[in-house]
Structure 1
Amino acid sequence: MSAGLLPKPQMRGLLTKRLRFHMVGAFILSVGSGLLYKFGVAEPRKRAYTEFYKNFDPMKDFEAKKAAGVFQSVPSTES
């Protein structure tokens, strides 16, 4: 009435084997999420800033804010 023998467990190199597997997975996951952020967030943001500043006139913006009374130290031209 002998049952089948169980295989011996791996006692040497188990940590190295599992660590190698998890390090490769972590590397692939981090590179993938970095690329996803770069092309999904950073590049569209750069394009939006470039498009905004292409037609931006800082003096016109300053005059509009000055007329609206946004600045406390700049006298308004409405008076």
Structure 2
Amino acid sequence: MSSSPLTKLQMQGLLARHLCIHIVGAFIVSLGVAALYNFGVAEPRKNAYTDFYRNYDSMKDFEEMRKAGIFQSAK
């Protein structure tokens, strides 16, 4: 029986190598989440506000609220 010596486990630099891999992965995931939030939430919200205020008449809205009796001081 010939026995070959067992190879040593690499322990030196193991933490640094794993941290480097995980930091790069976390950076890529965070960029992906930020892009998804921007295009999935922020842009539609901005477009909705733009569409709402494009035809918004504040005086008409005020008159409707005044007629409904929301304001006590404005008759």
Matched with 1:59 is 59
Match for 2:41: what amino acid? V
Question: What is the SS of the residue equivalent to 1:74?
Answer: coil
Unmatched runs of 5 consecutive residues or more in structure 1: none
Match of 1:38 in 2: 38
Deviations 1:33-65 (Å, cap 9, x if unpaired)?
000000000001101110110000000001101
Match of 1:73 in 2: 73
Q: How does 1:16-35 map to 2 (within 5 A)?
A: 16-35=16-35
Deviation at 1:9, TM superposition (A): 1.2
Identity %: 60
RCO higher in structure (CA 8 A, sep ≥6): 1
Query: Equivalents in 2 of 1:35, 1:51: separation in Å?
Result: 23
Shift of 1:6: 3.7
Normalising by structure 2, we get a TM-score of: 0.88
TM-score by length of 1: 0.84
d(CA) in 1 for partners of 2:15, 2:39: 36
Please give the alpha-carbon distance, in whole angstroms, between the structure 2 residues aligned to 1:5 and 1:73: 93
Distance 1:60 1:24 in 2: 54
